[in-house]
Structure formats: C-alpha cells, structure tokens
C-alpha cells in the first residue's frame, strides 16, 4: 500500500511539474514549433548578444509629419541604450533646435539638448519610452522567447501569395512589471520561417488593441538577420490600411567595444 501511495504521489508530482512547465512556457505546440523554426534561422538572442553591441543610423520617417534621424548605440547585455538625434521633429524635443542626446543606463534615463541637461518630466518619460522601444525594435525577433511571453496559435491567413501562420503574443504583466503591455499578432512565413508582418497595440499612445500593422524586410549583416526596413500602417474607418511611416536601419556595425560608461550623459554638462 505504501509503495502504491508513493507511486501515485510521484505520478501526481510529475504531472504537476509537467503542467507548470507548460504554463511557464505559456505557449501551445504549434506556436512553439514556429518559434523554434525562427530561432533555427536567426540563431536566437545568444547569437545576437555574442556581437556585444551595435551602432546604426535610424531614420524614423512619418512622411508629412516629419522625421527623427538618429545614430543609435545599444549594448545587448544589460540593454543599455544611447542615441544622438541630428533631426527630431516627432518624438524628441519637437520644435527645438540642436542636437539631442538620449541615454538609458542601468534603468536611469538622461537627456541633453546641445549639451544642456533637460529635466522636464515629459521629456524624460519620452526618453525612457524611446530608449526601450528602439532597443526592442532592433532586437525583437531575437527576444520572442523572453520570460513572460504568452503565445496562442490563431490559424492560417493568406496574404498575397503566401499563407501565413498567425500567432498571438501577449506579455505577462507580473513578469514585465508594466501596467500595460503591447500585444502582437505575428505572421510567420512558412518558407523562410521569419515574421514578415505583425499587428500590434501601443498602449503608451492610447492604442489598446493590436490594430496597427508593420511589415518587415530583412538583410543579413555580419551573420545577423536584421529587419532593416519596417513599414507602418494604420486602419481607416472603412477598415482599409494606409501607410503612416517608413523606419529604416542602415550603416549597421556590431562589436564596437562600447561600455555602459560611454553612454552616460552626466559628465561635462552645461
């Protein structure tokens, strides 16, 4: 009898551990298969992080509304971020002249305009948002297995000549520690195993549902697949999608030897 009880308890424990493992992954079998196929192609975050850091030229072009043009620098370990904006019509000190520098080191933001420290709470809040989101847009396809990711397979959808596998991505707020998290619907290409497009929400901008659309075109740089051209679209009242911007990474260089101290803006401020 004792051995039977032990055997039963052991079986229950194994079952519970198995259930916990599934819940920890927060995905279904088909979504996991698609994610594994993507990692097999791009190498996953370890492959990207092995490059240590990156610098690139970023043009955030919202057509008639203007552009933000920056030199971006990011360190993968620690997710430290820095940028110098030579043009900033939209998201960084709009309407102000001069070179704007942003940094985000050890979760501490800093902003300067022509060497003068900017402490306005709204501008600092924008700095935190942009440093995080610009890092994420560059690394997104390598971070899809981050803790707190919840996936659900949504079936197939034909777009043009390609029948895509659709997967919902929702983040666990208990893990991200964010009150509101972006939601995505990812479209996996069955031939390349890459994500060619996705729909997303932007709660920081008041867009609560994944209704914005982004298409992606990839280039391989130093062995790393980078979505160098992204095109943004938003829905009309009729349900059609109209272009709202083109976002381009160029002059990409890895392994620059950056240290987080290089990104700090506390020194020599006026």
Asked if pLDDT for residue 141 goes beyond 60, the answer is: yes
Does 115 reside within a domain? no
Stretch 66-74: mean pLDDT = 98
**Domain extent at residue 42:** 2-80+129-263
Q: Could you tell me the sign of the dihedral formed by the alpha carbons of 42, 151, 18, 178, in that order?
A: positive
Q: Which pLDDT belongs to residue 266?
A: 67
Question: Which residue from 67, 141, 106 is spatially nearest to 260, judged by alpha carbons?
Answer: 106
What is the reported pTM?
Answer: 0.86
Does 91 reside within a domain? no
CATH number at residue 220: 2.50.20
Does 213 reside within a domain? yes
The number of domains in the chain is 1
Cβ 171 vs Cβ 148: under 8 Å: yes
State pLDDT tens for residues 172-229: 877 767 777 789 999 999 999 999 999 999 887 789 999 999 999 999 999 999 999 9
Does 121 reside within a domain? no
Query: Could you give the CA distance from residue 167 to residue 202 in angstroms, rounded to a whole number?
Result: 18
CA end-to-end distance (rounded Å), the chain: 80
Q: For the range 157-164, what are the long-range contacts, defined as Cβ-Cβ under 8 Å and sequence gap of 24 or more?
A: 157/187, 159/187, 159/196, 159/197, 162/189, 162/190, 162/191, 162/196, 163/190, 164/188, 164/189, 164/190, 164/196, 164/197
For 210, the token pair is: 């994944």
Does 195 reside within a domain? yes
Q: Which pLDDT belongs to residue 7?
A: 37
Does 214 reside within a domain? yes
Rounded to 10 degrees, what is the CA torsion of 168, 49, 220, 222?
180
Does 253 reside within a domain? yes
Q: Could you tell me the sign of the dihedral formed by the alpha carbons of 27, 130, 87, 243, in that order?
A: positive
Does 167 reside within a domain? yes
Question: Which residue from 83, 58, 56, 53 is spatially nearest to 69, judged by alpha carbons?
Answer: 58
Cβ 167 vs Cβ 31: under 8 Å: yes
């Amino acid at each position: 009898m004792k051995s039977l009880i032990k055997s039963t308890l052991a079986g229950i424990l194994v079952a519970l551990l198995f259930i916990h493992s599934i819940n920890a992954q927060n995905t279904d079998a088909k979504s996991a298969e698609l994610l594994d196929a993507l990692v097999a192609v791009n190498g996953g975050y370890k492959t990207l992080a092995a490059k240590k850091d990156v610098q690139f030229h970023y043009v955030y072009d919202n057509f008639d509304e203007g552009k933000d043009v920056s030199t971006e620098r990011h360190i993968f370990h620690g997710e430290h971020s820095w940028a110098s904006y030579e043009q900033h019509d939209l998201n960084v000190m709009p309407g102000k002249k001069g070179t704007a520098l942003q940094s985000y080191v050890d979760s501490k933001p800093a902003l300067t305009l022509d060497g003068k420290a900017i402490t306005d709470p709204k501008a600092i809040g924008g700095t935190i948002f942009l440093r995080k989101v610009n890092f994420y847009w560059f690394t997104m396809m390598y971070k899809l297995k981050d803790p707190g990711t919840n996936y659900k397979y949504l079936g197939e959808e034909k777009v043009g000549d390609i029948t895509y596998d659709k997967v919902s991505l929702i983040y666990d707020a208990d893990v991200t520690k964010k009150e509101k998290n972006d939601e995505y619907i990812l479209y996996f290409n069955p031939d390349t195993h890459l994500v060619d497009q996705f729909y997303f929400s932007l709660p920081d901008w008041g867009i609560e549902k994944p209704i914005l659309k982004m298409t992606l075109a990839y280039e391989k740089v130093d062995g790393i697949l980078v979505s160098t051209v992204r095109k943004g679209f938003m829905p009309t009242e009729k349900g059609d999608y109209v272009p709202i911007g083109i976002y381009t990474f160029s002059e990409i260089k890895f392994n620059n030897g950056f240290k987080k101290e290089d990104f700090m803006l506390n020194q020599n401020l006026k």
